[in-house]
Structure formats: structure tokens, C-alpha cells
Amino acid sequence: MTEMVHGALPESGGEPLLPKWWRTIDRWTLFCAFCLFAIGLLLGLAASPPLAERNGLSNFYYVQRQMLFGAMAMFAMLMCSMLSPQQVRRVGVIGFLVAFVALALLPIFGTNFGKGAIRWYSLGFGSVQPSEFFKPFFVILIGWLMAGSQEINGPPGKLMSFVLTIVVVGMLALQPDFGQACLVLFAWGIVYFVAGAPMILMLIVAGMVVGAGVFAYGASEHFARRIDGYLSAEIDPTTQIGYAANAIQNGGIFGVGIGEGEVKSFLPDAHTDFIIAVAAEEYGLILVLCIILLFTAITVRSLIRLLKERDPFARYAGTGLACVLGMQAMVNMGVAVRLLPTKGMTLPFVSYGGSSVIAAGITVGMLLALTRNRPQGRIADVLTGGGR
């Protein structure tokens, strides 16, 4: 495909990189990302010591590892944020190919760590979850395909992206990882919607999703068990959802106090999938609202900045990245308060885990790169034929 700049003016090459980066970057989004990671470390100090003690490790073993992961994530975020849209596209395509191969080889070389789903590669000193890295690269690729399909004599990018999405969703469902599969399908739907998808097609896809859900309920005991637990009128107090719901109720508005929470002693995933329950119990509704506000600020600010973007690739890919980040956060918190079935999905930047936090850093870094202020006219100029 050709370089898809569609009217964007060339940037001045005389200004040094760092001053230009600082002048053009969305500093509020950058600040929100750092705040989320800081909150994650704070909650890690509360949630991880009981787990470390049960595993015979030093009290702050997981916190120290999270600091290392966080340093890598912040470095990746800053490096990605300095890329041009064309460089983001190239990195995204290469990253997609690597992540796709890693996903394909999971059934052969992957492990489930006793959790029932083969989602990880064990490296001895740690593990890697390819699906976490796959999401941002997938969004970049389909954004490129959608933009390319709108060029004169361009490739059938929309059809290619649909076929690719079905293949990837199938691969994730076989792990099984229905949460990530739904998130990938959501990413494709958002990008296609922004690119001008016909509503009838979106309704057909929605129907296919419902049909696939009914089939998965009958074919997968793992899937059926989670749906049954979600639909049950009673909450078993000894399940993860039961402990999380009780912790959120106990926290109230201001929390029970730092270090006074009990949910971290019962939940094996208190430092990962259910970290928001720890936040709600010890710090109350106040901290939960702060976390929601930070994710909302990143998503909404990015979408507003993308409204004036004239490059279709940057607009489509940026919208996908912003919405996927916000949706993952919403799903994680929705599971904790039983608005959604359990999905095993982390809270970006906040939950413990190297794959999760580094992938979140890459996601926000590429989002920052695509939303940087570049010398160009407004999108309205393109629609009215001016600004050339």
C-alpha cells in the first residue's frame, strides 16, 4: 500500500526530537497512564504480600517484579509515543506477525498453569501471554487495512480484516479465552464502524456473535459454568465473585483502611483480575472513581484529538486503541461487581503481570503517537474540498 497521509502536511525536520515530542504529545493522557501505574503499585503493596507468603516468597516479591515490569512498560510507552504514524504502522504489522505465530503455537508449546486455559508460554523465570500483546498490533493492522480499502485501486481491506478477525477469534476461543476473543471482535467492530460499515452488516455480525455464544454454551463446560454462575440468583460466598462482592460492600465510600482489607487473603487473583476489589475494600469508592476517571480521560481525550485527524489510518487505528483500552478496563471492573460473567481479564496498568502492563504501555504509547499534534488542516477541510 502507498503511504496513507491523505493531506497531512510534512513535519518540520529542524526541531530536535524531544522538544517536538513534548510540544506535540497529549501530556494529560501521559500523566493519566503514569497515575494508573502508580495506583497499581500502591494496590500491589496491599494485595500481593499474602500471596507471596503463601508461595514462600519475600513479602514484596510481586511488588518488586511489578516495578521492573512497569519500568519496561513506561520505556515502551515513551519509545512508541515518539514514532510517526508510518512507523507505528510498520511496528504494528511486524508485531502482529510475531504475536500471531505465538498464538498459533500455544496449543503445542503453551501451558495453562492449572487454570484450565492454555494462554501462556512458561519461560522458567516468568511467563508470557501472547494475547495481551496481540491486541494493539491487531488494531494497527486492521486500521491499515480499512484505510487501504478506501484508496483508489486499493486492496479489499475490509474483507481481509473480517476474515483475519474470524481466524483470530477462533484461535482464542480454542484456548479457551472467550474474553480476549470478544475484545478482538469488539476492536474490529469499532474500527469498521468508524470506517463506515453498513448497519446491516453490523447486525449480521451481532447475530453471528449471539449464535456463537449459544453454541459455546452447549459445547464448552468452561464457558457454560461461567455463564451459569453469572445468571444464578445467589452468589456463592466462597467463589471469587463472592469474595469480591463482599469486599466491595465492606469498603463503602472511604474504605476500611490501608492494609485492613481481608479479600487479598482469600482471593488467589486479588493482585490481578480482581485488583479493583482490593481498591474498593481498602480505599473505598473514592479510589475506584479515580481509576474510572483516569481511564475515561485517556479514552475520551484521545477520541477528541482524533476528530481533527485527516489521516484515515491514524483515525481508525487510534480509535480502536482508545476503545479497546477503555473496554478492557470496563470489562475487568464489570466482572468484579457482577455486571458481566468472569473473563479472566486484567485491569490495564493496575493489575499485576508483565504481559499485561507492558502491553498496556505499548497500547498507550502507540495511541499517543497517533494523537500527537501534527501540522495539518482539520478534517472539515477535506470534506469541503479546502485546506489543500
Judge whether 332 and 273 are in contact, CB under 8 Å.
Answer: yes
Q: What is the pLDDT of residue 9?
A: 46
User: What is the number of structural domains in the chain?
Assistant: 1
Asked if the structure places residue 269 within a domain, the reply is yes
Q: Is residue 337 part of a domain?
A: yes
Per-range mean pLDDT, top range of 193-197, 206-210, 233-237, 267-271? 193-197
- Residue 380 placed within a domain: no
pLDDT at 207 over 50: yes
Residue 387 lies in a domain: no
Decide: residue 285, CB within 10 A, 0-12 exposed, 13-18 middle, 19+ buried. middle
Containing structural domain, residue 39: 17-373
Name the strand (E) or helix (H) holding 128: strand 127-128
Question: pLDDT value at position 377?
Answer: 47
Residue 3 lies in a domain: no
Residue 236 confidence class, pLDDT cut points 50, 70, 90: low
- pLDDT for residue 237: 65
Instruction: Assess if residue 378 is contained within a domain.
Output: no
319 inside domain? yes
**Mean pLDDT within 299-304:** 96
Which of 163, 186, 150, 96 lies closest to 313, judged by CA? 150
Name which of 4-8, 225-229, 279-283 the model is least confident about.
4-8
Query: Residues 51, 53, 55, 58: is their CA dihedral positive or negative?
Result: positive
159 or 237, which is more confident?
Answer: 159
Per residue in 18-77, pLDDT (tens digit) is 888 999 999 999 999 999 999 999 998 888 888 888 888 888 899 999 999 999 999 999
* 353 lies in some domain: yes
